[in-house]
Structure 1
């Protein structure tokens, strides 16, 4: 477990989310799962650096300004254009993505030791950049807490069996793993989510947490612990960034010493605040504290 004020390095993609709904003009929101986690951690007061790629274009400048407004230190390799995704929302606000993204992060060294490293999504499994990410994580494994969220994007994952191998390699490198039931359904069709979580624990993590949408979330520990948390009912604007807000709040609560049930409660509450407003807009410390007080 790390200190709540220790520095966390987040590694992965930034994406300009172009949100498209029928009868309304497109809106662009800063996004990308790892970038959202870094932003969410910073909003909760945790020092965060994002190791990523950005283009010198309007979308890149928008994303950088967004991250830095929360206090995230952005360490970005240059690319020709900032990755983007067209996000289409259905009648319930659920998001579906069409990506224009490449991931070519070069090998890098760290100037100082992080307290924790978070990786996930496209940046952890998409070559050639994934090789640099995993090499860095392997060098720091055992010296920094490693967390991982597969945040599966089927259109970018390639052949399923290969994707499963890549994801399970990341799981085995990690101390804390968060996934959604949708992630697990794509990786392991027809399998029970709790059975998958327990199998992942056997690969090495101390904790595996799984989100269940409107059904809340559960978590298992390698020591046999188990907890569940109900979702917080809210009017849904859209689901963009909800899982990333969950991840940031779960990691922050764990670093602060909360028990497993407390980590889940804070995480599902943060996710509810995010779905109640457009885009990947995680809560501040004050917002989360107030929402937890209302929840009792």
Structure 2
């Protein structure tokens, strides 16, 4: 089977906490607490597979979890190339949900911060039409060097490359200018409204595309319930409205959008349809708990 997508990013265990009312500082609050498989890159890979895209996923996990996780990904239609870390555990993310479904994160990236060049050999690029990198992989020195080298190899082969900006918290820590230096030359940059505003220094989508388009060919703005837009340094090229959805958990919505958009792009669908497919996948994601899709490949 010819592979169409390579995803590089984190594998996490998501611990999702939904308090039954406002937090009580220094005391108890009843809550629903559940564990789900997560990680932005892992979510994106499974969403791509669920949307029918042959997908390879490269990441680093705790050695004790490698076999179980590889089997789980395989059952979901993903070819997982997982390096085993002998010292660090698989990452863990605690998600705190408010009454609207919005979330805040506490992140221990674990083995993800040790991703190295040996974990990303260039033969991962064989038969690949697009490489999608989660921005989380750029926020630590070792993974960043490995990922940027792989992206350079992909560009040399004429493979389309995409980076998802991933996290305003980490973007603020490393600084927008540094992140944009790392992203320069990327075919596609995906960012939600807050990430785009931080990176571009503007809340206005036209200005965001103009600023970010100086570094990347195409900018995809994920605007939540408002929909999404695509643009270049010349400004917005296409926009699509959001879909109504009963929000249960917004975790993974951006990952689902990225998968839907890229699945349509790989199928050479029109730009408006690429946006529509991304929005539809995002709406599907927010209607369930956790960041992964329910279904196996279709």
TM-score normalised to structure 1 length: 0.85
Matched, 1:75 2:81: yes
Shift of 1:61: 6.3
Q: 1:95 aligns with which of 99, 103, 110?
A: 103
Shift of 1:130: 1.1
- 1:135 alignment counterpart: 149
| Distance in structure 1 (CA, Å) of the matches to 2:199 and 2:235 | 24
RMSD: 2.5
- 2:209 alignment counterpart: 197
- 2:180 alignment counterpart: 168
Q: Do 2:4 and 2:266's aligned partners in 1 also have CA atoms closer than 8 Å?
A: no
Shift of 1:67: 2.4
Bigger mean CA deviation after superposition, 128-137 or 106-115: 106-115
| Distance in structure 2 (CA, Å) of the matches to 1:199 and 1:40 | 30
| Distance in structure 1 (CA, Å) of the matches to 2:40 and 2:168 | 11
Q: Do 2:15 and 2:35's aligned partners in 1 also have CA atoms closer than 8 Å?
A: yes
- 2:59 alignment counterpart: 52
| Distance in structure 1 (CA, Å) of the matches to 2:38 and 2:186 | 23
Report the secondary structure of 2:263's partner residue: helix
Matched, 1:104 2:119: no
| Distance in structure 2 (CA, Å) of the matches to 1:48 and 1:286 | 10
| Distance in structure 1 (CA, Å) of the matches to 2:168 and 2:136 | 7
Q: 2:42 aligns with which of 35, 44, 54?
A: 35
Q: Do 1:12 and 1:120's aligned partners in 2 also have CA atoms closer than 8 Å?
A: yes
| Distance in structure 2 (CA, Å) of the matches to 1:16 and 1:168 | 29
Gaps of 5+ in 1: 288-296
- 2:190 alignment counterpart: 178
Shift of 1:83: 0.5
- 1:227 alignment counterpart: 238
Matches within 5 A, 1:211-290: 211-221=222-232, 226-282=237-293
| Distance in structure 2 (CA, Å) of the matches to 1:172 and 1:283 | 35
Matched, 1:13 2:10: yes
Change over 3 Å in CA distance of 1:285–1:272 after alignment to 2: farther
| Distance in structure 1 (CA, Å) of the matches to 2:35 and 2:212 | 36
| Distance in structure 1 (CA, Å) of the matches to 2:296 and 2:229 | 23
Deviations 1:35-77 (A, max 9, x none): 111111111111111110111346x666544422221111112
Shift of 1:237: 0.6
| Distance in structure 1 (CA, Å) of the matches to 2:297 and 2:227 | 22
TM-score normalised to structure 2 length: 0.85
| Distance in structure 1 (CA, Å) of the matches to 2:195 and 2:257 | 15
| Distance in structure 2 (CA, Å) of the matches to 1:46 and 1:217 | 22
| Distance in structure 2 (CA, Å) of the matches to 1:117 and 1:185 | 24
Gaps of 5+ in 2: 20-29
User: Size of the alignment, in residue pairs?
Assistant: 279
